[in-house]
């Protein structure tokens, strides 16, 4: 049976996305030309092509149960020596990303899978480069900050050319009006007595 390689991520908006992609290319990470700037929710995962409708339904249900949340990037970090990666830290919104990725990978769902490493939300700046290039990437963006409200996520598919292309976006419903909590009975009675 045919398979496809999928990923799920939160896109970094402009103008940040373009700037960070140019930086990543400037550090010598050629893979950046085929990857939009993002925070991963599901790393590359192979699924049967016939499962795509179930994947779409699952992700639509996850998004429908979520609400927009703030996300802020601030400073750099690295996964070295375990992995040759330098990244921007998620300083705010990391907990929401973690809970969201757990829902995306929910047991029994079409994207259920174990991770090779514990989940750590981040934006990759450089991957698989020599230490000197990784050091330069980490130092040059150490003071970088960006913030926005996450309004959804997207499903991506890896093409035969090695580039990731968006298949579908999944928007969160907008926050609804605040509901007033009903007053306890004794407060309703007291209010009636004042009229």
Q: What is the pLDDT of residues 138-166, one digit of tens each?
A: 999 999 999 999 999 999 999 999 999 99
User: What token pair was written down for 99?
Assistant: 């809970």
Higher per-residue pLDDT: 1 or 57: 57
pLDDT band at 175 (very low <50, low <70, confident <90, very high): confident
Are the CB atoms for 167 and 157 separated by under 8 Å?
A: yes
pLDDT digits (tens, 9 = 90+) for 116-140: 999 999 999 999 999 999 999 999 9
User: What token pair was written down for 25?
Assistant: 């290319």
The position carrying tokens 């802020």 is 72
User: What token pair was written down for 116?
Assistant: 């090779």
User: What token pair was written down for 31?
Assistant: 């893979």
pLDDT score recorded for residue 74: 98
CA-to-CA separations, 186 to 131, 179, 181, 193, 195, in angstroms, rounded: 69, 20, 14, 11, 15
Domains delineated in the chain: 3-174 (3.90.1140.10)
What integer is the mean pLDDT of 92-106?
A: 97
For residue 106, pLDDT over 50 is answered with yes
For residue 7, pLDDT over 50 is answered with yes
The C-alpha atoms of residue 147 and residue 140 are separated, in whole angstroms, by 19
For residue 108, pLDDT over 50 is answered with yes
Q: What does pTM read for this prediction? A: 0.86
For residue 194, pLDDT over 60 is answered with no
Q: Is 14 exposed, middle or buried (0-12, 13-18, 19+ CB in 10 A)?
A: exposed
Annotate 8-28 with DSSP letters as a single string. Answer: EEEEPPTTHHHHHHHHHHHTT
């Amino acid at each position: 049976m045919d398979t496809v390689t999928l990923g799920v991520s939160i896109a970094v908006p402009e103008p940040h996305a373009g700037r960070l992609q140019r930086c990543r290319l400037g550090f010598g990470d050629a893979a950046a030309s085929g990857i939009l700037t993002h925070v991963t929710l599901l790393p590359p995962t192979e699924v049967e092509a016939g499962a795509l409708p179930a994947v779409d339904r699952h992700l639509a249900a996850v998004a429908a149960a979520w609400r927009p949340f703030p996300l802020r990037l601030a400073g750099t970090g690295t996964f070295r020596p375990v992995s040759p990666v330098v990244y921007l830290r998620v300083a705010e919104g990391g907990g929401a990303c973690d809970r969201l990725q757990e829902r995306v990978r929910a047991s029994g769902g079409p994207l259920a899978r174990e991770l090779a490493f514990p989940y750590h939300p981040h934006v990759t700046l450089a991957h698989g480069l020599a230490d000197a290039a990784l050091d330069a990437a980490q130092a040059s963006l150490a003071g970088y900050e960006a913030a926005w409200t996450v309004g959804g996520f997207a499903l991506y598919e890896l093409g035969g050319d090695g580039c990731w292309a968006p298949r579908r976006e999944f928007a969160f419903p907008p926050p609804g009006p605040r509901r007033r909590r009903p007053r306890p009975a004794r407060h309703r009675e007291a209010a009636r007595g004042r009229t």
